[in-house]
Structure 1
Amino acid sequence: MFELEKRPTASTRGIVDPSAARGGFELVRLAPAPDLADLVERHWVVRWDLPPGEEFTQVVVPHPNANVVAEADGFAVHGIPAGLFSRTLHGSGAVLGTKLRPGALRVLLGTPDAVRPGLVLPAAALAADGGEGARVADVEDAGRRAVAAARAGDDVGAVAAVTPLLRAVAGRRRSARSGVALARVARVLGGVVGGELGPDAGVADLAALAGTTPRSLQRLFAAWVGVSPKWVLQRHRVHVAADLIAADPGFPLVDVAAAVGYYDQAHLSTDFARAIGTTPAAYARRCAASRAAVSPLVPTPGPRA
């Protein structure tokens, strides 16, 4: 059996223009209960308090993960978005999200349709089989309590509101088959994100990590994740490239391309624009402007006597 990495990640990968994001909302991440770490990567809380009449729009470049999200408008299950995800914030509020591990949504929903791109369902779908401890009323109440706790600044309480629901559903729907499938997927994703493979790795390298063939790996991801191994590699490269640019907008783009495994800058530009909606050069200009706007003014030293 493969061993799962069970610590929650803490990177900003996927958050477009992270310097601007820090001025728009607060993001807190929390580890899941140990008995749910095979299905849950982490919980997250987003909290904001904007001046009257102002709004803030955040764009996210999705990872191969589904989320269960409790917010004022309802409690819902979100599969991997078909494209960019954006949300415009007004006034004040809070959201509790549970970022599932790749493939975990199929386990919790118990249906192959869980991997459909752009899937959005009421969280009550988790109680579709009427199992004990996960009635529709219980699901909706858990979402309301999670939002109330998050708004009050009680992040631990927000997570505690949804954990029994996730535990009840997982207890009914886990199986030996799903455990093996998710462990193989986790082995591949861990190798990609953890840097075990070189930046120019291909699908065959991912298959070797999982001890299978490229074709079998493609079938595994199609059945359990909803995106291909090639998509995972390309998306990871774009995430890392965006991180490098955001951290240093002056980083030469040809060097960014080489650092994330592209043979030339043109191929990076194509994948980057497809995923993020803008070219690396335009993104660098945006990040530079945001960094300048949020950086404290530092007095220029005067001449020495």
Structure 2
Amino acid sequence: MAVPRPDNRGTRHVGGIRDTRGIVDPSGLLTRVRFRRHEPAEPLRRHVETYWFIDWDLPEPYVSQVVPHPSVNVSFQWDGDENEGAPPYGEVHGVALGLFTRKLAGRGRVCGAKFWPGGFRPFVPDVPVSRWTGRVLPVQDVFVQAGRDTARQVVSPADDAARIAALDAFLISLAPAPDPQADLAIDLVTRIRANRTVRRVDDFARAEGMSVRALQRLFAAYVGVSPKWIILRYRFHEALELAGTRSDIDWAALAADLGYADQAHLVRDFTATVGVPPAAYAQAHRP
């Protein structure tokens, strides 16, 4: 039985930003940029989790950092003042294994589509998603259907409705075929995301009636990273979110709750990923 996917549906234009998981210093980012999320057209919703739009006009450069989700993203971007006269461009971002860092300067905008983990494979059915992991490629290198004007058509409109329509039109034109294995991968990742008690790959595979090897093959082909990597990444997102929103955290208890062997493992993981220990991050971003 399929687990319902996280609800981002509601109205056609979702707008705003309700979930900041994975964003390092979300308040710092959101005070500098205009960040919105929108829902894709109905035929795309089995594959695309959300559209995300960012516009900025900054007097000083700002470095944004994100601990990425296990998702492939397709983005169309325009860097206005930093590269005067440079045309808009499109990129395909495979699942990023480390911290994603981007310097924002001058004026610019990004219109992105975040795919469900497992939802990208039907758009390029002959290539395992692990091929894109850790890579950023020009959109034309992945989709021959992307014309020279595709990026301009997406990012040039001043209003979000027109940008959404352009993204819808491009992705629908790719005509992804139904793929039950993609649906299975999406549902399995959603189970991991929703159930924080999932800590061991072998236990999860057994509960789903699969061998560990079959689960690993499915995730390599459709998600791009291993089940263990996803379990670790989602519990790290929870630690990052709590560190940025609460000042009364019992780190030892949190480590145990999230499935870390002990507090030292959580501190080591957090410091290696974000660059500072969790307590220092919490103090710097104390609500």
* TM-score class normalised by the smaller sequence: 0.7 to 0.9
The residue number in structure 2 matching 1:79 is 94
5 Å-filtered alignment, 1:52-131, equals 54-72=60-78, 73-112=88-127, 114-116=129-131, 117-128=133-144
Structure 1 gaps, min length 5:
129-133, 292-305
Q: Distance in 2 between matches of 1:231 and 1:182?
A: 18
The residue number in structure 2 matching 1:283 is 281
Which stretch has the larger CA shift, 259-268 or 86-95? 259-268
Query: Which of 127, 151, 154 is the equivalent residue of 1:146?
Result: 154
Q: Distance in 2 between matches of 1:209 and 1:174?
A: 29
Aligned length: 269
Does the Cα contact within 8 Å between 1:105 and 1:115 map onto a contact in 2?
A: no
Which stretch has the larger CA shift, 66-75 or 243-252? 243-252
Letter of the 1:30 counterpart: H
Letter of the 2:57 counterpart: D
Structure richer in helix, relative to its length: 1
The residue number in structure 1 matching 2:57 is 49
Query: Which of 15, 18, 23 is the equivalent residue of 2:26?
Result: 18
Question: Could you report, residue by residue, the CA deviation over 1:69-127 in whole angstroms, capped at 9, with x for unpaired residues?
Answer: 00014111111123211111112221100001113333212342542322222222354
Question: What TM-score do you get using the length of structure 1 for normalisation?
Answer: 0.81
The alpha-carbon deviation at position 6 of structure 1 amounts to: 6.5
Cα 1:7–1:18 shift into 2, 3 Å: same
**Aligned residues: percent identity?**
37
Question: Could you report, residue by residue, the CA deviation over 1:128-186 in whole angstroms, capped at 9, with x for unpaired residues?
Answer: 3xxxxx3x42xx3232122122xx2x1221111121121121x2x424xxx22222212
Letter of the 1:278 counterpart: V
Three-state SS of the structure 2 residue aligned to 1:104 is coil
Three-state SS of the structure 1 residue aligned to 2:149 is helix
Three-state SS of the structure 1 residue aligned to 2:192 is helix
The alpha-carbon deviation at position 256 of structure 1 amounts to: 2.4
The alpha-carbon deviation at position 222 of structure 1 amounts to: 1.4
Structure 2 gaps, min length 5:
10-17, 79-87
Cα 1:264–1:23 shift into 2, 3 Å: same
Does the Cα contact within 8 Å between 1:7 and 1:31 map onto a contact in 2?
A: no
Does the Cα contact within 8 Å between 1:191 and 1:209 map onto a contact in 2?
A: no
Query: Which of 268, 271, 274 is the equivalent residue of 2:272?
Result: 274
Query: Which of 232, 235, 239 is the equivalent residue of 1:241?
Result: 239
The residue number in structure 2 matching 1:231 is 229
Q: Distance in 2 between matches of 1:208 and 1:165?
A: 39
Which stretch has the larger CA shift, 57-66 or 88-97? 88-97
Letter of the 2:172 counterpart: R
The alpha-carbon deviation at position 28 of structure 1 amounts to: 0.5
The alpha-carbon deviation at position 45 of structure 1 amounts to: 0.4
Cα 1:43–1:22 shift into 2, 3 Å: same
For the pair 1:39 / 2:37, whether they are aligned, the reply is no
The alpha-carbon deviation at position 15 of structure 1 amounts to: 0.2
**CA RMSD of the aligned region, Å?**
2.2
Three-state SS of the structure 2 residue aligned to 1:11 is coil
Three-state SS of the structure 2 residue aligned to 1:166 is helix
The residue number in structure 1 matching 2:173 is 168
Does the Cα contact within 8 Å between 1:6 and 1:38 map onto a contact in 2?
A: no
The alpha-carbon deviation at position 276 of structure 1 amounts to: 2.6
Q: Distance in 2 between matches of 1:6 and 1:262?
A: 25
Does the Cα contact within 8 Å between 2:99 and 2:273 map onto a contact in 1?
A: yes
Three-state SS of the structure 2 residue aligned to 1:83 is coil
